[in-house]
A and B are shown apart, each in its own frame.
Chain A
Amino acid sequence: MIRGMLATRSYFRRLGPRAVSAMVLVAAAAPLLPARAEENAKHCGPTFVDIDPTTGDLLILCGKSGTIRRLGSDDGSMKSEAVLGESPFAFDRHPDGARLYVTCRRGQEIRELDAVSLQTLRTFPLRGDPTGVAASADGRRLYVAVHSLDEVAVFDLETGSEIKRLATGNGPEMVRRSPQQQLVYVTNLLPNPVPLDQPPANEITVIDDISANVVERIILENANVGRWIAFSPDGSLAVVAINRPKNLIPMVQVARGWVMTSGFAVMAPGSGHAPVQLLVDLPNQAYADPYGTVFTPDGSKFYLSCAGSDVVMAIDVSAVRRVMEEVEKGRLPRPADDLGLSRRYVVARIPVGANPQALAISLDGRWLYAANRLDDSISVIDTGKDTVVRTLVMGTPAPPDKLSRGERLFHSAARTFHGQFSCTSCHPDEGLDGLQYDLEPDGIGQNLVDNRTMRAIGDTAPFKWRGTNPDITTQCGERTAKWIVRTGWLSTSQVVELASFIRSIAPVVNPFRSPDGAFTDAQLRGKALFERTAANDGKPLPERAQCHFCHSGSVYTDHQAFDVGSRSPTDESGDYDTAHLTNIFESAPYLHDGRAATLEEIWTKYNPEDRHGVSSDWTKQQLNDLVEYLKNL
């Protein structure tokens, strides 16, 4: 075997660095595991739903099959379907009504569609995981959230060219133009950077639609995972679906029912008043993963999907306004921590299908459509009675296989104490939430750990920062029940299904990686530094001081634990699992407790004794080159 490895190495040497890098990258960029791709092909996975204002038809983006479907709103019959790029996520309609703009996350593009035929008219490539999209009121520009790069790209719709990038919050998600205002609102999935001992602060980025520049940044304290934003028809209210994680307290508090709460932020744009955060939870029952939201045409109610609880909430707007007034007058000092308050404004909790995310409401306001992403169905809700009157099945879905069942488990809060959270609450979009947690098994207040992504971790065992779980099944087994969800957990077969799904989660497409796999000069220099065996002065480096010795193999880990000098006073040990480096660009902050805000800080601030590689002899240029190389992995 060793001989074979040596032979392989010499083969790579003959090819030269650029060719080798191209091969590695092509392999790394393989979009989905075959089993996952095969399973996705069987399903629609509705991620977005809207109503055609002309015909009243349902227009549905199918995230899994990569298509857009036009369904009759009465019987769900499919009238037409068109193939899009991979993972269509959201669309907006041009003000002229003739065109739709669809973002395709893994497809790395925006499709301009004919709104009637759904055929593609133009395609705008956009690297960086495009998510939300909105056309400007005058129809001349398009705003597209570039999730991986924390930006909004502004396109000129006449030329199809990108005009500029605007800095958003962390992980921009949805983009919506407000009615009666010349503003465009961008929600953000992840918190803005804050010190480790501070609660998260989630941003809503506001763009002036005239100048196409950011004019305001609304901060939601203690909030995270901003999803959809909706506006009342008169524009006087805006609602954003949010999580409220309490990551600064030990997870033991899960058993007291309030580590992860869920709700929405409501604000009166232009009023000058701060947003008010309100929960949809009850004292003994939580409703996890708020996602989609939409107002009725008369503005009397809005609906909020709780994807992790398979529920859609009906919320009375007048009651919310009364609560907002009380908050403004100081009569409700901590509404966001009041688990009983939702009784005043939640008028119905409507069970729907699996993992409801997107919502849309009929033109006359009579029907609400909830897209159940994980059972390929649309729940039709009578808004007068707030009950499901029928379910539109998307074609003839295949029965869920192991991966699909595992995916449902991952996205369901049914097996956590009071239904507080699902796996995706802390791992939104199967990635990470950018927060640090105090998991209890090693003592309260000890061993704070940074959240880790669930993407592309199949080959990165062992798990946990300490590397104490040998495989995903162990990681997601009984210890999860005991230390995290704190209630009856999954059966053995369900754990296997969940682990299978987690192993199938693909990495996002890396925007720092060249489409043709070629390295830039800086990346090549960084690669050389990563693989160097001697210091700048020519002295040989011990193996453990060479980056590629520990960060080795296809996912850049040797699966061992080492002490790289990052132990803090509250850590009981300094030995931590060698982190894999696949798509390391998206997993800030860094080190086991998230103390390094950027890749640079790993070495400029937290490697004073050269224990995390020998970095003290690096020039600034070398550090920059290394970071360029790492971001590309």
Chain B
Amino acid sequence: MRTNIVQLKAVLFLTISLHTAYAAPPFYDHWQSFGIADGLPSEKVFCIRATEDSVWAGTDRGLARYTAGRWKTYTTADGLAHRVVLSIAEDPETKDLWIGTAGGLSRFSAGRFDTFTQLNSGLSNDFVHAVTVLRGEVWVGTMAGLSRYNIAQHRWTLYDETNTPMHEIWCYSVTSSQKKVYVAVWGGGLLEYDIAQDRWKNYRDPDGEMEIDLFRDDGLLSDVVAGVAFDSADRVWVASYFGLSVYDGRRWRTFMDHDSPLASNFINFVTTHVDVAWMATDNGLSASDRENWWTYRRDPDTRAGLVTWTPANGPAERFTTETIFPHNYLLGVSFQGDDIWVATEKGVARGTRGHTRSAGTD
């Protein structure tokens, strides 16, 4: 069995090399899982964020930090706003961490937690689904709209249905490019904010149908948007519970599990890395540059990885890895150097690559 796997990897390595013209997504062929036994406070991991020297996992029992091979947990006793950690962002300038919880927003700065809640600050709501930081401003997606905090000026600005085209106020995901902020509004589609123009734009499902897509590629697949990301080509990747939509500024493309290699239509989270989008779904992990696809799943019986490589102009290839993430219900993805980290329903996993180069590394 081991020999077969190594052979498959060798074939795969050659195959990927032939497809380099498509900037194919990398292949993670080795996975290490982390659970309670490894030091996590809980295996229900809602989010994950890799920084330069640490990996941060948001669980239902606190914030866990992985550094130098060990996990350390921060809880409300340390000053964390709430034990349920839903989102994590790093300020690229100060390296402070901003943490969205089920009970407010925390800033973690050199060991100190500062907490912002709807009672002690201008934060609109304590249930913080999402947070991102751009040029000294923290954008916070909450259960009751979007809050914007200017760190230096200590000033809050609130966005909701009264001053934006926000049809619902459940802001599930927020991400920012240098020019725009994108907000995934659960039930309200995608909001785009042009920072320089101070102008909002709303993208919604043209057919208005939640569970079907009447006309392919006509726009956002569904208004039930759970995640949003953008790549360096300013393409916007929108995750919904009914499929994936990609907007390049001129036209939309949509991907569902019956018409693409997407692991599942139920996408919890999307992010981009080196112009490849990674979708954390309820049935595995997908990566795509819109043309080429990887899909990773855990075989519940063998616990091995079932990986499918679907190039744009070739037949799909399937193979097996000895290791894979601990559960197919994925909630987050982040990258640290060449490694990928995923948050799952049953712990955290780190994927590494390059093991095909030497049969001895496994």
Q: How far is the CB of A30 from chain B (nearest CB, A)?
A: 24
Q: How far is the CB of A184 from chain B (nearest CB, A)?
A: 13
Instruction: Please state if B109 and A217 are interface contacts (CB–CB under 8 Å).
Output: yes
B112 beta carbon closer than 8 Å to chain A: yes
Q: How far is the CB of A504 from chain B (nearest CB, A)?
A: 29
Instruction: Please state if A628 and B155 are interface contacts (CB–CB under 8 Å).
Output: yes
Q: How far is the CB of B105 from chain A (nearest CB, A)?
A: 14
Q: With CB as the reference atom, state the residue of chain B lying closest to A168.
A: B109
Instruction: Please state if A214 and B109 are interface contacts (CB–CB under 8 Å).
Output: yes
Instruction: Please state if B96 and A167 are interface contacts (CB–CB under 8 Å).
Output: yes
Flag A595-633 by CB within 8 Å of B: 1 or 0 each: 001101100110000000000000011011001100100
Instruction: Please state if A627 and B122 are interface contacts (CB–CB under 8 Å).
Output: yes
B154 beta carbon closer than 8 Å to chain A: yes
Instruction: Please state if B110 and A620 are interface contacts (CB–CB under 8 Å).
Output: no
Q: With CB as the reference atom, state the residue of chain B lying closest to A169.
A: B112
Instruction: Please state if B94 and A600 are interface contacts (CB–CB under 8 Å).
Output: no
Interface-centre pick from B96, B144, B156 (highest chain A CB count, 10 A): B156
Q: With CB as the reference atom, state the residue of chain A lying closest to B120.
A: A598
Set of chain B residues within 8 Å of A215, measured between Cβ atoms: 110
Which residue in A167, A512, A600 is a CB contact (below 8 Å) of B114? A167
A151 beta carbon closer than 8 Å to chain B: yes
Q: With CB as the reference atom, state the residue of chain A lying closest to B107.
A: A167
Set of chain A residues within 8 Å of B114, measured between Cβ atoms: 167
B15 beta carbon closer than 8 Å to chain A: no
Main secondary structure of the interface of A (DSSP, over half): mixed
A-B contact count (CB 8 A): 72
Flag B126-152 by CB within 8 Å of A: 1 or 0 each: 000000000010000000100000011
B121 beta carbon closer than 8 Å to chain A: yes
Instruction: Please state if B152 and A604 are interface contacts (CB–CB under 8 Å).
Output: no
Instruction: Please state if B120 and A600 are interface contacts (CB–CB under 8 Å).
Output: yes
Which residue in B94, B124, B160 is a CB contact (below 8 Å) of A214? B94
Instruction: Please state if B119 and A601 are interface contacts (CB–CB under 8 Å).
Output: yes
Flag A63-89 by CB within 8 Å of B: 1 or 0 each: 000000000000000000000000000
Instruction: Please state if B110 and A163 are interface contacts (CB–CB under 8 Å).
Output: no
A159 beta carbon closer than 8 Å to chain B: no
B20 beta carbon closer than 8 Å to chain A: no
Instruction: Please state if A605 and B93 are interface contacts (CB–CB under 8 Å).
Output: no
Set of chain B residues within 8 Å of A601, measured between Cβ atoms: 119-120
**Quick one: given A163-B93, A165-B136, are A206 and B110 in contact (CB under 8 Å)?**
yes
Apart from A214-B109, A628-B155: 16 A-B pairs, beta carbons within 8 A: A151-B152, A153-B152, A164-B136, A165-B94, A165-B136, A167-B109, A211-B95, A214-B96, A215-B110, A512-B153, A600-B120, A601-B119, A620-B124, A621-B160, A623-B122, A631-B154
Give B residues with C-beta under 8 Å from A.
Answer: 93-96, 107, 109-112, 114, 118-122, 124, 136, 144, 151-158, 160, 162
- The 3 A-B pairs with the shortest beta carbon distances in the complex, nearest first, are A604-B119, A165-B152, A214-B110
Give A residues with C-beta under 8 Å from B.
Answer: 149, 151, 153, 163-167, 192, 203, 205-206, 211, 213-217, 512, 522, 597-598, 600-601, 604-605, 620-621, 623-624, 627-628, 631
Listed A/B pairs (13) with beta-carbon separation below 8 Å: A149-B152, A149-B153, A151-B152, A167-B94, A192-B112, A213-B94, A214-B109, A600-B120, A604-B118, A605-B119, A620-B122, A628-B155, A631-B154
